[in-house]
Structure 1
Amino acid sequence: MTARDQPLLLGVRHHGPGSARAVRAVLERYEPPAVLIEGPPEADALVALAADEAMRPPVALLAHVPADPGRAAFWPLAEFSPEWVAIRWALAHDVPVRFIDLPAAHSLAMGEGEGDGGEEAEGGGSRGAVSAGRGEADARTAGSGRAAGADDRTPGTGRTAGPDQPADADAAPTPAPDRAAEARIDPVAVLAEAAGYDDPERWWEDVIEHRAHGHRPGNGGESGLTGEDPLAPFEALAEAMTALREAYGVGGHDRDLVREAHMRLRLRDARREFGEGVAVVCGAWHVPALARRTTVTADRQLLKGLPKVKPEVTWVPWTHRRLSRRSGYGAGISSPGWYGHLFSAPDRPIERWMTKIAGLLREEDYAVSSAHVIEAVRLADALAVMRGRPLAGLAEAGDAVRAVLGEGSDAPSALIHDRLVVGDVLGEVPESAPAVPLQRDIARSQRSLRLKPEAAERELDLDLRKETDAGRSRLLHRLRLLGVPWGEPARTRASTGTFRESWRLRWEPELSVRAAEAGIWGTTVEAAATAKARSDAVGTSTLADVTALAERCLLAALPDALPVVMRVLTDRAALDADVGHLAQALPALVRSVRYGDVRGTDAAALGEVATGLAERVFVGLPPACTGLDADGAADMRNHLDATHHAVGLLDEVPADRPGGLRERWAGVLRKLAEREPVPGLLRGRAVRLLLDDGRLAPEDAERLMGLALSAGTPPAEAAGWIEGFAGGDAGGLLLVHDERLLALVDGWLADVPADAFTDVLPLLRRTFAEYDAGVRRTLGELVRRGPAGATGTAAARSDQEAAIPGFGPGLDRDRAAAVLPTLRILLGLPEGMDSTQDTNRTGVAG
């Protein structure tokens, strides 16, 4: 150990594997009596948890205000973060650790509206989870979109230190001092520009991180500088930052003056307590300010009168994916998986990286051999030499993978980026870490239901007839109601049926803030969800919102919340006379009635309300459909479809009145179909719904279409009728299989006057654009050929081969014969029947 009479000021860019190695090398060489780290002092009591075996990075310090949990900030730390390396070294050597940044009590209080810019945090969802020092250039903020203390001042780049150690003292160029001191600057960009680089990140990696005197990163050495003082690179970087601070002052980041004043005071306290030689790990931008001599009085004056709140601090899991994001709570590292590899690789990082890629591609059935790996490594090294880089980086490795392993294709690149360059690593924190009661109940529920949170998105199929799956469904629905969307409902084949559900799960770090915020509603998930549902019911303003809430209460199995929701629902339904609102609210109510029985909940009261609501829609819909403009008709068409679907489900529940809901609904549709003041879009839709339900004969549908497409109907009105009748994929198939209807449309379109054609065409194009490409192609062939029998060819055939209405000009015997063996098995026909009999039966069946 070498004694020092000055603090060890270790200026870094955060989340850099090379910077982390360099910090560890200095600590090993000088063995400081204490380690000071840029971070909230409230976390001092939590440092010891970093040595717990259950603590696995990436993790983050979370500070939030219990009275206002949406006011929160994160300080993320990865395995390759210099701060994390310093903490682990100090704990392993029984050296005290202190955080010295501005307390979260002040930074959280200052975050709302008192910063010098910045943006609201993503992901919080409430009143904008603001970060410590919101608006600062310091990247530990949620609002700035970068990670803890990334004092590179790089709003646009966001990436952090690359793969190896800082360079010697001659590496950093001196910037031109003639810039305006008031401008907000990126110091790394200024240094890079002075060195002739157009990319600040490439300069940092080449000059600071990659430069290792011919030593490859990750070769097992600590400093990469044999026989040299590991502190020299930090001194060189401090000299460059000093020149920048002399030229630019605080570079437009005024709040740094307050933060640095607090850091100096904490540093003075540490020097009095532990003596000289304490180590300080902080952003390189702050080093000149910490080295500058000031008075205690001046520093305390800067801190006087700061606003203050009372925060709570804990450790929470973090993810590589969240580290890679440059907005919201992200740390702004573009390649955390790559950095983690560089930090953990004992030697030959490029070779090991290519081997990882080869293994991943083989798992995905790509043909990758050892020769591919060897050639990719050679190409990456050659590219680094050609580009004048000291070592191959991620860009060279990516180009080599694309050329060799991907054989010129970009297809593997997205997979490699998602799985390796970024990665799906999710950190873990010990159970002894402080947490609000609701968070602990969530963790208990996750363990009991064997539903482990994961950073990677995965699909979960549930069978609600099984107790464990039903419990998982309740938990996910309750968390969504609390604003903690760990899972989102998904639509898959496995989710069809009332007893099945499918979810897409992904645990994001900011969900910890959401859970803390939801803690105001209760100490358990069920109690909190019940309290929030009651509050939401009272605060809703529309009938549709109340019905949607009732559905969510049933899905989440919250029987104690339903009485309040039902009382509000009944009041809203009685007072709301808008048919559109009633029709919009009906589907959610009907789903609640239907799925309530599957989940074992009592939905009888909801069934009564839904039936009454449906009957009010039946009465009010016909007059509400008259006198509508195009936009109003389009909205009413959606209500018509929703009501039709809802009635189909609701009629499965016995109705008290004779005839049933479906029969009464069919009567409403008949009124709409034949009522001239109703817009053509709605009349056509009513005919289509009746036809699909079998309550209207094809001949009657043809008659109504003929009337709608008659010469006396305005072309735009007729086009709207067609859109309502034939809209959607099924509408195209209807025209394919019923050439009589297609002939009516074709004949009407041919007779549209030229002056009206330009008005009609966009409406028809919108209708036919919804069809699949195959349906449109078939319709084109049918129109080109003309109606069945029109050419006289079909008329010349025998009655047996005559055109079958709706199925083209006649029977194709060869195509029919190909399916006869399978069809005979399905119909249970005897083996001895000849092909003519089979064909005739097939034709009759058609």
Structure 2
Amino acid sequence: MGGNQVTAVERPVGRGAGAGPVLLGVRHHGPGSARAVRAALEETGPAVVLIEGPPEADALIPLAADAEMRPPVALLAHAVDEPGRSAFWPLAEFSPEWVALRWALEHGVPARFIDLPATHTLAWERREDEEGPQDESPLDAEPTATEGGDGAPATVPGAAPDSEPDGAAEVRIDPLGVLADTAGYDDPERWWEDVVEHRGAGQGDALAPFTALEEAMAALRETYGSGGHARDLVREAYMRLQLRSAQREFEDGVAVVCGAWHVPALRQRTTVAADKALLKGLPKVKTDMTWVPWTHRRLSRVSGYGAGIDSPGWYGHLFSAPDRPVERWMTKVAGLLRAEDRIVSSAHVIEAVRLAETLAAMRGRPLPGLSESTDAVRAVMCEGSDVPLALVHDRLVVGDVLGEVPSTAPAVPLQRDLTRLQRRLRLKPEALERELELDLRKENDAARSRLLHRLRLLGIAWGEPAASRGSTGTFRETWRLRWEPELSVRVAEAGVWGTTVLSAATAKAEADAVTADGLADVTALAERCLLAELPGALPTVMRILADRAALDADVGHLAQALPALVRSLRYGDVRGTDTGALGEVAAGLAERVFVGLPPACAALDADAAEEMRRHVDAVHGAVGLLGDAPATGRGHLRPRWQSVLRVLSGRDTVPGVIRGRAVRLLLDDGELAQDEAARLMGLVLSPGTPPADGAAWIEGFVGGSGGGMLLVHDERLLGLVDTWLTGVPAEAFTDVLPLLRRTFSAYEPGVRRTLGELVRRGPAAQGAATAAGSAIPGFAAELDTVRADAVLPVVRLLLGLDDMDTRNDLVGVER
């Protein structure tokens, strides 16, 4: 026989001597399949259980029985030399593979994974990234970690039959979609619920559902071949070899739990030589494997994973509910809605159950499924609204359950240190997003802040900073936390920088400083080092910062870098860090900005002027934070900066948006009287100034925060803008309108409403006088009907009103 022996797995499912292995074809993450697998294993009592999954995980199987293990979890494989190249094999409590693992451990039966090793799967991914998919090779389908819920990474239901059943179909089919369509269902999920999920465990022959599903899949494989999943041919060859090996060891006491799509291939008559030929020359990469926590949300297809189900929370409920699943589900929904302050009574629960049962009967279903339950919840508990229903879908149908893995599970040293810190700081990872308020004056909160900042520096985005609602002081931080399974991969990647969070963050900061592209990047890094309290990295970062600052002559770069340095000084104060050297660099940088800014603002186009205006704002804020810190040999920073603003406000060569902003900043600081600001505005908005320049000056002066309130409280300024705007020639109006619209649309609705009420009253009969002696119009107390009538033609045009009789109605409404 030797290498040409024919496989011995072609016999049908059975239990007697010589009957062959028990092949249990399942749907991944299917609670009905999970119940059926347990019933079949209890009835057949195999001597070994083979499970679809990476063989490298065999050593991790005993951890599934650990008391600390809480599904959903996943097997994570990553390349040793490239941790970011990874693959997951998720398992939930209701996954058939998990049930098979637990059964084997409970009964002292060996369990083994028999899918293609991860060492090949990850190597394929690397080769395809470098060379692109190889169309002639059976390696261009999805990896195991991204399989579809039916056992194959299927995407196209009901695809046309392949003309060559023995080869790979050009169109990838969805086996469940084809079976559902054949049965007259338009929804594969609904079909699966009816034929599998609503079938209780222990009803008749435990192997009957597997036999029926195998026959259906055999017909599909005969028609569609590999169904477009060419890589499955290689995987199935490996699985057949492992099955033969188990049969030689355990004879007929072998049970296999795999995707139903693969069962016909495991029964296929092939030779050992043919299977080994498919596996010859496969690429390899050294891999590590461990258990990591997973979430229900990541089991859902909406998360981007092909290996999933649409409603993991619902399926978990079906698996865990021993009886009356609909009644128990409605009770869960009612509890959630009550927690959100919605009025839901016991009567609502009873009525929703009755409606779901009625809908199931009308639709010819054996029991109410998710669609009937959802329709009943919408009608009875949500009063027809989809808004609370979306909450039910997010929290219950999908859910945010996060699994746990034992502390004894293999992990890189960095992961162990992170786990230790999480426990010490009582900062438990959670799948549900939550806000964390930290008071940096408290030791534990300060330690939490350090950890989160260090992780962000390492690219492990467990927490993201958020705006604090209660206080704007530097001693308070707000974080938005959410643990995603992929962060385990990020931790493995960051392990190359060190064995602890502190050492890894320090090494990463030093490396980032050396490779930083610009001065602003180095200053931002210095700020992050202070936030993360990395004293070991600061000397390197500060040395590079000083070198870059001394060599960079671009005022824009210097102005962009200054705010981060100033923020770092403030953070250093609240965290008790010595920032003397940083203060010297900040003061020197500010002095260079003061000297170089006026000439840098000359002769700029519109885009460059707007960018420079943002730099002026940033420098102004930085100088305000620095306070009266002494500059290098030039007195104090604040008076020096104000003199720079006066220069900018008076130079005709400076773009209007910068001159207007300089006047506004001086006015806000009390360094410019309102009369003087009104005089400058009157000059720039005089008829001799081009309208575009006037509009830019207005944008600089009243744009941004507080500009609207300035006009509300100073009617002279608003009157100047109004008079100027009404005098803009028609041919220039369309050019200045976008600038003005951008300026005024940024105001709060209440401010815009107040300005509109002022302007609609029209100019008053008398006004104040400016220092230049020109009249400044105020606003009348009543509506100017003549001004109101002027807008009616435009309103009729916009509304498509041709009937002139509507004029009086519009005038009446306006009045």
Same fold by TM-score, threshold 0.5 exceeded? yes
1:477-626 correspondence to structure 2 within 5 Å: 477-626=453-602
Cα distance change, pair 174–257 in 1 and its aligned pair in 2 (3 A): closer
1:438-453 correspondence to structure 2 within 5 Å: 438-453=414-429
Over aligned residue pairs, what C-alpha RMSD do you find?
2.4
Aligned residues: 753
Q: Where does residue 91 of structure 1 map in the other structure?
A: 105
Match 2:122 to one of 81, 98, 108: 108
2:761, 2:779 within 8 Å by CA — same for their partners in 1? no
1:62, 1:74 within 8 Å by CA — same for their partners in 2? yes
Please give the alpha-carbon distance, in whole angstroms, between the structure 1 residues aligned to 2:570 and 2:286: 48
Q: Where does residue 79 of structure 2 map in the other structure?
A: 65
1:63, 1:104 within 8 Å by CA — same for their partners in 2? yes
> Following TM superposition, by how much is the alpha carbon of 1:258 offset from its aligned partner in structure 2, in angstroms?
1.0
Which secondary structure does the structure 1 equivalent of 2:426 belong to?
A: coil
Q: Where does residue 8 of structure 2 map in the other structure?
A: none
Q: Where does residue 93 of structure 2 map in the other structure?
A: 79
Give the residue type in structure 2 aligned to 1:57. P
2:153, 2:307 within 8 Å by CA — same for their partners in 1? no
Q: Where does residue 202 of structure 1 map in the other structure?
A: 190
Please give the alpha-carbon distance, in whole angstroms, between the structure 2 residues aligned to 1:329 and 1:587: 41
Please give the alpha-carbon distance, in whole angstroms, between the structure 2 residues aligned to 1:89 and 1:268: 22
Larger CA deviation: 185-194 vs 296-305 = 185-194
Q: Where does residue 151 of structure 2 map in the other structure?
A: 151
Cα distance change, pair 118–791 in 1 and its aligned pair in 2 (3 A): farther
Q: Where does residue 246 of structure 2 map in the other structure?
A: 270
Give the residue type in structure 1 aligned to 2:727. D
Match 2:62 to one of 16, 36, 48: 48
Please give the alpha-carbon distance, in whole angstroms, between the structure 1 residues aligned to 2:185 and 2:661: 64
Match 1:189 to one of 163, 177, 191: 177
Residues 34-90 of structure 1, C-alpha deviation per residue, up to 9 Å, x if partnerless? 100000000001100000111000001111122111111111100000000000011
2:629, 2:636 within 8 Å by CA — same for their partners in 1? no
> Following TM superposition, by how much is the alpha carbon of 1:250 offset from its aligned partner in structure 2, in angstroms?
1.1
1:227-266 correspondence to structure 2 within 5 Å: 228-266=204-242
Cα distance change, pair 635–156 in 1 and its aligned pair in 2 (3 A): farther
Which secondary structure does the structure 2 equivalent of 1:75 belong to?
A: strand
Please give the alpha-carbon distance, in whole angstroms, between the structure 2 residues aligned to 1:440 and 1:30: 41
1:136 and 2:141 equivalent? yes
Cα distance change, pair 175–696 in 1 and its aligned pair in 2 (3 A): closer
Residues 726-777 of structure 1, C-alpha deviation per residue, up to 9 Å, x if partnerless? 1124111110100000000000011111111111112111111111111111
> Following TM superposition, by how much is the alpha carbon of 1:332 offset from its aligned partner in structure 2, in angstroms?
3.0
Please give the alpha-carbon distance, in whole angstroms, between the structure 2 residues aligned to 1:721 and 1:452: 52
Which secondary structure does the structure 1 equivalent of 2:93 belong to?
A: coil
**Structure 2: tracts of 5 or more residues without a match:** 1-13, 769-775, 782-815
> Following TM superposition, by how much is the alpha carbon of 1:629 offset from its aligned partner in structure 2, in angstroms?
1.1
Which secondary structure does the structure 2 equivalent of 1:112 belong to?
A: helix
Q: Where does residue 827 of structure 1 map in the other structure?
A: none
Give the residue type in structure 2 aligned to 1:541. D
2:49, 2:109 within 8 Å by CA — same for their partners in 1? yes
1:684 and 2:686 equivalent? no
Q: Where does residue 341 of structure 1 map in the other structure?
A: 317
Residues 138-173 of structure 1, C-alpha deviation per residue, up to 9 Å, x if partnerless? 5623xxxx67x752433379xxxxxxxxxxxxxxx9
Cα distance change, pair 551–266 in 1 and its aligned pair in 2 (3 A): same
Cα distance change, pair 117–568 in 1 and its aligned pair in 2 (3 A): closer
> Following TM superposition, by how much is the alpha carbon of 1:656 offset from its aligned partner in structure 2, in angstroms?
5.0
Please give the alpha-carbon distance, in whole angstroms, between the structure 2 residues aligned to 1:174 and 1:207: 22
Residues 609-638 of structure 1, C-alpha deviation per residue, up to 9 Å, x if partnerless? 111111111111111111111111111111
Residues 778-835 of structure 1, C-alpha deviation per residue, up to 9 Å, x if partnerless? 1111112235x5379x9xxxxxxxxxx999889xxxxxxxxxxxxxxxxxxxxxxxxx
Cα distance change, pair 290–458 in 1 and its aligned pair in 2 (3 A): same
Q: Where does residue 790 of structure 1 map in the other structure?
A: 765
Cα distance change, pair 392–116 in 1 and its aligned pair in 2 (3 A): farther
1:354 and 2:330 equivalent? yes
Cα distance change, pair 769–347 in 1 and its aligned pair in 2 (3 A): same
Q: Where does residue 669 of structure 1 map in the other structure?
A: 645
Please give the alpha-carbon distance, in whole angstroms, between the structure 2 residues aligned to 1:392 and 1:751: 70
Q: Where does residue 16 of structure 2 map in the other structure?
A: 3
1:383 and 2:388 equivalent? no
Please give the alpha-carbon distance, in whole angstroms, between the structure 2 residues aligned to 1:784 and 1:446: 60
Residues 666-724 of structure 1, C-alpha deviation per residue, up to 9 Å, x if partnerless? 11111111111111111111111111111111011101101110111110110111111
1:324, 1:335 within 8 Å by CA — same for their partners in 2? yes
Give the residue type in structure 2 aligned to 1:108. L
**Structure 1: tracts of 5 or more residues without a match:** 120-132, 158-172, 213-220, 795-804, 811-846
> Following TM superposition, by how much is the alpha carbon of 1:395 offset from its aligned partner in structure 2, in angstroms?
1.4
Please give the alpha-carbon distance, in whole angstroms, between the structure 2 residues aligned to 1:30 and 1:3: 10
Cα distance change, pair 276–337 in 1 and its aligned pair in 2 (3 A): same
Give the residue type in structure 1 aligned to 2:603. G
Cα distance change, pair 401–791 in 1 and its aligned pair in 2 (3 A): farther
Give the residue type in structure 2 aligned to 1:140. A
Please give the alpha-carbon distance, in whole angstroms, between the structure 1 residues aligned to 2:156 and 2:189: 11
Cα distance change, pair 476–491 in 1 and its aligned pair in 2 (3 A): same
Match 2:724 to one of 733, 737, 748: 748
Q: Where does residue 11 of structure 2 map in the other structure?
A: none
Please give the alpha-carbon distance, in whole angstroms, between the structure 2 residues aligned to 1:520 and 1:467: 29
Q: Where does residue 201 of structure 2 map in the other structure?
A: 222
- With the length of structure 2 as denominator, give the TM-score of the two structures: 0.89
Please give the alpha-carbon distance, in whole angstroms, between the structure 2 residues aligned to 1:248 and 1:449: 56
Q: Percent identity?
A: 73
Residues 640-686 of structure 1, C-alpha deviation per residue, up to 9 Å, x if partnerless? 11111111112254445454111111111111111111111111111
1:647 and 2:635 equivalent? no
Q: Where does residue 168 of structure 1 map in the other structure?
A: none
Cα distance change, pair 562–116 in 1 and its aligned pair in 2 (3 A): closer
Q: Where does residue 775 of structure 1 map in the other structure?
A: 751
Give the residue type in structure 2 aligned to 1:63. A
Q: Where does residue 28 of structure 2 map in the other structure?
A: 14
> Following TM superposition, by how much is the alpha carbon of 1:136 offset from its aligned partner in structure 2, in angstroms?
3.1
Which secondary structure does the structure 1 equivalent of 2:86 belong to?
A: strand
Please give the alpha-carbon distance, in whole angstroms, between the structure 2 residues aligned to 1:450 and 1:203: 45
Match 1:429 to one of 386, 398, 405: 405
Give the residue type in structure 2 aligned to 1:790. A
1:26 and 2:40 equivalent? yes
Please give the alpha-carbon distance, in whole angstroms, between the structure 2 residues aligned to 1:518 and 1:135: 30
Give the residue type in structure 2 aligned to 1:136. A
1:137, 1:155 within 8 Å by CA — same for their partners in 2? no
Which secondary structure does the structure 2 equivalent of 1:696 belong to?
A: coil
1:342, 1:349 within 8 Å by CA — same for their partners in 2? yes
2:613, 2:658 within 8 Å by CA — same for their partners in 1? yes
Which secondary structure does the structure 1 equivalent of 2:128 belong to?
A: coil
1:9, 1:280 within 8 Å by CA — same for their partners in 2? yes
1:290-305 correspondence to structure 2 within 5 Å: 290-305=266-281
> Following TM superposition, by how much is the alpha carbon of 1:182 offset from its aligned partner in structure 2, in angstroms?
2.7
Give the residue type in structure 2 aligned to 1:92. E
Please give the alpha-carbon distance, in whole angstroms, between the structure 1 residues aligned to 2:232 and 2:408: 34
Which secondary structure does the structure 2 equivalent of 1:279 belong to?
A: strand
2:156, 2:171 within 8 Å by CA — same for their partners in 1? no
> Following TM superposition, by how much is the alpha carbon of 1:190 offset from its aligned partner in structure 2, in angstroms?
2.1
Cα distance change, pair 495–109 in 1 and its aligned pair in 2 (3 A): farther
Q: Where does residue 844 of structure 1 map in the other structure?
A: none
